[in-house]
Chains A and B, each alone.
Chain A
Amino acid sequence: MAAQPYGLIATFETAPELYHAAEQVRDAGYRFWDCITPFPVHGLDKAMGVKRSIVPRISLAGGITGFITGMSMIWWTGAVDYPLVVGGKPLFSPMFAFPVSYELTILFTAFATIIGMFVLNGLPMHYHPVLKYDQIKRGMDDTFFIVIEARDPRFNLANTKALLEKAGGKAITELEP
């Protein structure tokens, strides 16, 4: 085994145990850690101190970009690059540029949302060190885990282990990198 493990994994039997353990890990100030549960546990994000995702902001940026793209594209093609009077209408009006801008707003919002989500959550992820843990499959069945990564600035093999024990974690194991 390498000198520094990937991190520590602790086992919990029930959702409430995991929930309260997560609160303790959160209050200890850890940042690089995660919970592994077989099903969504409501309120766990709060117990873990996870903030709301910033994906909506990325979506908004995408939407604004799309709107500006639509407006400026119609303006540039119709009023600057190749001015042509159509149907007695002005060379540019936000009125007829609006449907296109609106569509591009939606399109770019969708792109920004999907791409932003994948960039932020790191998917697709083909390998993760916890997969080497022989009990990890139970995390899809009937057991809950907390993993604290060694790259966390507060990580200290002895202290972190003590914290997980105090929080009620069983079978605390070092993970290979």
Chain B
Amino acid sequence: MSSHAVTAPAALPADSAAPLAGKALMAGLAGIALTAIGLFVSGPSAVALSWLVGVTFWTAIAIGMLMLVMIHHIFDASWSTVIRRQFEHGLSAFKWLALLFLPLVLATFFFDRDIVWPWMDLSREIHGGHTVGHDPLYLKKSGFLSPSMFVGMTAAFFLIWMWLSARLRKASFTQDADGDVKWTFSNRVTAAMGLPLGALSLTFAAIYWVKSLEYHWFSTMYGVWFFANCARGALSFGVLIMVWLWQRGDYKGILNNNHFHSIGMLMLAFTVFWAYVTFSQYFLIWNANVPEETFWYNLRELNHDGSTNQWWYVGLVILFGHFVVPFLALLSYRYKVTKPIIRRIAIWILAIILIDIAYNIMPVLKDSHGDAAPFLSLNLVWILSSVVGVGGVCVWSYLRSFPTAKLIPIRDPRIGESLTHHE
């Protein structure tokens, strides 16, 4: 099983996926169009928040891919060399994600200051009768939560991600042609710089984009929670790509069971990591029982009259669907190496990541009693159309990058080890 795989990648002219790319772009544009129609149906705020869910979901996957590629380089990993190329193609999506994030910023400045982030509008009335501009909890944070900081930081995040991606992609793609080992060392340096930069930028992105929706609230676990979802999303998407390219025939003779086993083990590890972080956040807030923190979960469990709302059940779906089910499923060796099963697990995890992000964003929409707008509503349509809209563009970007380089990094120093990967 191990010895004869090395002969496979002779030419590897990564077949053009152009028809598929066109379809993905059409789906993306259709999703964007449907979301735009939503503006006239559900109002700007609901649709803008749904769009934020979609952009955050796909940005998380792209960030996860970026971090995994850099982790691969910093550890000088061998087994993941054959699948690293697919992540590098995925990294091409950052510029489009930046473009797709832009409408939220433009709408904030040219349409309605608090369309997404309530603190952007200093004259917005908040609970208790005064405005954001007179809220001591805002004023103490106003240096950080200022519109100019938000725009500058968001631009910086995307520039950091695009810059790191461009460096990693260029080095890896050039090595295909010249086989120079200097590109491997260059990538190691990029990873050593990029990992702390990536960790900081994804943390602050999560704080600015998502956590600041409830600027009274604080949780030191938030960036870690976001990173856990980034990594899980990227690994799951990676599995989908692996199975797709396997079934298409590209990866025949390249991947063996051990590659699926290894990525499955990482999925299991990050499942536990996500659970650890998410539980820690909930447990500390539950145990301390301080109103400044508990209100965030109260909003997601109870209505003002004490009855449980839909988000309570969504929370349970996240608890069991994001941890218990994938944890138990991924314990099994057979499930990790059986392609239809691991693919199903990956789709499941991606779906729950979307629910998790929606759980963090959508309850910001409140009715006149201050209760969270229900999960099962028309907003779900705009969330899905946003996910298809942003996702279509991201998949198109991946498929467009796909034929521009070989299927696997054939001249990477670790490629032989990766092709004969064993436990």
Binding site for B on A (CB under 8 A): 42-43, 46, 52, 56, 60, 87-89, 95-96, 98-99
* Residues B59-112 near A (CB distance < 8 A): none
Q: Does B219 contact A (CB under 8 A)?
A: no
Contact B333 A43 (CB under 8 A): no
Taking the nearest CB of chain A, how far is it from the CB of B416, in angstroms? 14
Task: Please give, as numbers and ranges, the residues of chain B lying within 8 Å of A52 by CB-CB distance.
Answer: 333
| Option from A43, A46, A95 in Cβ contact (under 8 Å) with B283 | A95
5 A–B contact pairs at CB < 8 A?
A52-B333, A56-B333, A87-B289, A88-B289, A95-B286
Residues of A within 8 A of B279 (CB): 98
A4 CB to closest chain B CB (Å) equals 38
Which residue in B2, B282, B286, B331 is a CB contact (below 8 Å) of A43? Answer: B2
CB atoms of A96 and B333 under 8 A apart: no
B333 & A99 in contact (Cβ 8 Å cutoff): no
* In the complex, chain A residues whose CB is within 8 Å of the CB of B377: none
List the 5 shortest-distance A-B pairs measured between CB atoms, nearest first: A42-B2, A95-B286, A42-B422, A43-B1, A95-B283
- Picked from B1, B287, B331, B422, the residue with its CB within 8 Å of the CB of A95 is B287
Residues of chain A lying within 8 A (CB to CB) of residue B333:
52, 56
- Distance of B349 from chain A, by nearest CB (Å): 21
Please, how many angstroms separate the alpha-carbon atoms of A54 and B255 in the complex? 26
Contacts of B1 in A (CB 8 A): 43, 46
When C-beta atoms are compared, the residue in chain A nearest to B275 turns out to be A102
A sample of 8 more A-B contacts (CB under 8 A), given A56-B331, A96-B283, A98-B283, is A42-B2, A46-B1, A56-B333, A87-B289, A95-B282, A95-B283, A96-B287, A98-B279
Given contacts A52-B333, A60-B331, A88-B289, contact A99 B283 (CB under 8 A): yes
The chain A residue with its CB closest to the CB of B331 is A60
Residues of B within 8 A of A42 (CB): 2, 422
State in angstroms the CA–CA spacing of A152 and B279 once bound together.
53
**For chain B, which range describes its interface: under 10, 10 to 19, 20 to 34, or 35 or more residues?**
10 to 19
For the complex, would chain B's binding face be called helix, strand, loop or mixed by DSSP majority? helix
Query: A residues within 8 A CB of B422?
Result: 42
**Residues of chain A within 8 A of B287, CB atoms compared:** 87, 89, 95-96
Shortest CB-to-CB span from B171 to chain A, Å, is: 32
CB-defined contacts of B286 to chain A, threshold 8 Å: 95
Complex interface residues of chain B between 277 and 303 (CB less than 8 A to chain A): 279, 282-283, 286-287, 289
Q: Given the complex of chains A and B, what is the CA–CA distance between A107 and B311 in angstroms? A: 35
* Chain B residues whose CB sits within 8 angstroms of the CB of A56 once the complex forms: 331, 333
Could you say which residues of chain B place their CB within 8 Å of the CB of A89?
Answer: 287
Interface residues of B in 1-17 (CB under 8 A from A): 1-2
Complex Cα distance, B287 from A96, in Å, reads 8
Q: Please, how many angstroms separate the alpha-carbon atoms of A89 and B1 in the complex?
A: 58
Residue on A nearest B333 in the bound complex, by CB: A52
Chain B nearest CB from A94 CB (Å) reads 10
Q: Give the docked Cα–Cα distance between A43 and B331 (Å).
A: 23
Tell me the complex Cα distance, A48–B60, Å. Answer: 45
Question: What CA separation (Å) do A65 and B226 show in the bound complex?
Answer: 32
Q: Which chain A residue has the least Cβ–Cβ distance from B423? A: A42
Please report the C-alpha to C-alpha distance between residue A52 and residue B287 in the assembled complex, in whole angstroms. Answer: 43
Residues of A within 8 A of B282 (CB): 95
Which chain A positions have C-beta within 8 A of B283? 95-96, 98-99
A56 to B333, CA, bound (A): 9
B374-423 contacts to A (CB < 8 Å): 422
